[in-house]
Amino acid sequence: MSELLFYVVIFLANIIQGITGFAGTILAMPFSIHLVGYGVAKPVLNVLGIIAGIYVVAGGYKNINRKQLKRVTLYMGIGIVAGVLLRRCLAGQQRIMYLALGIFVIAIGMRGLISFVKYAWENGFGIMDKSPRKIKGSVLEREDYIEKGTTPGALVLLLFAGVVHGIFVSGGPLIVTYLSNHTKSKEEFRRTVSAVWIVLNTLILVSDLMAGMYTLSTIRVQLLSVPFLFGGMFVGSILYKRMSQALFTVLTYVLLCIAGVSLLFK
């Protein structure tokens, strides 16, 4: 029954992954650890993250922001190496890391929601139905900010995201914080963040293989989980096409809050 529930979690989490391009792993990880254990959940969800990334990127690779992809993978790659080493040092003490990450993620999500609600209140909630080019955060309004480049604080955020991803395969919320301010539209954001997972999760896969985390039982679970991944991604892709930029923004920040709360109760 626990394994069956694990597959249900994968299906539901990847509906969200199909919509946003992130959050699938961080939403699934806390529940999955309870159901099948960290030793199975971590490597299985990592590979599913690679497959999900390929699924999203294959449908629109031309929309990837290659400049940001290179920057994110470079700094996060460095952080992942540090995270893998830290994970070995903190064996049995992951609870502290989950609490710290959960609080940080909730703060990010709440800040984004408050800013959006304030803007919607000032400009009318009808923006939820308008074109992406007519709301705050659209291509036209964000180009000047994007061209300014990356601050030292943002680079530190990327390094920390890599550390978190190396430990929990759950650096998504921190990447959202960065890429939501350095991509021009929900399409570019979704494709770019998915490309990031392909590169970085592959690094973690190599680390997991070297650490001997893949057993015959884990491989069996991995193979059985793939259809549930594709089912969730397919449903998510359909829902994604029906969303406005504003609704996409709200969903992103709400998911960050949910993910943060789930980490607190891990």
Mean pLDDT on 151-167: 83
Residue 48 has pLDDT above 60, yes or no: yes
pLDDT band at 228 (very low <50, low <70, confident <90, very high): very high
From CA 98, how far away is CA 221, in angstroms rounded? 25
Supply the pLDDT for residue 227. Answer: 96
Q: Which amino acid appears at position 145 of this protein? A: Y
Supply the pLDDT for residue 221. Answer: 95
Residue 196 burial (10 A CB sphere; 0-12, 13-18, 19+):
buried
Supply the pLDDT for residue 134. Answer: 40
Residue of higher predicted confidence among 156 and 147: 156
Supply the pLDDT for residue 140. Answer: 39
Residue 148 has pLDDT above 70, yes or no: no
Location of structure tokens 């960290």: 38
Angle (nearest 5°) at CA 195 between 241 and 63: 50
Burial 67-77 (b: 16+ CB within 10 A, else e): ebbebbbebbb
Alpha carbon distance, N-terminus to C-terminus of the chain: 20
Supply the pLDDT for residue 129. Answer: 47
Write down the mean pLDDT value for the chain: 79
pLDDT band at 225 (very low <50, low <70, confident <90, very high): very high
Supply the pLDDT for residue 110. Answer: 87
Supply the pLDDT for residue 153. Answer: 82
Supply the pLDDT for residue 145. Answer: 44
Supply the pLDDT for residue 226. Answer: 95
From CA 170, how far away is CA 192, in angstroms rounded? 17
| Residue 92, SS3 per DSSP | coil
Residue 113 burial (10 A CB sphere; 0-12, 13-18, 19+):
middle
Return the closest-CA partner of residue 232 out of 2, 1, 23: 23
Mean pLDDT on 157-179: 79
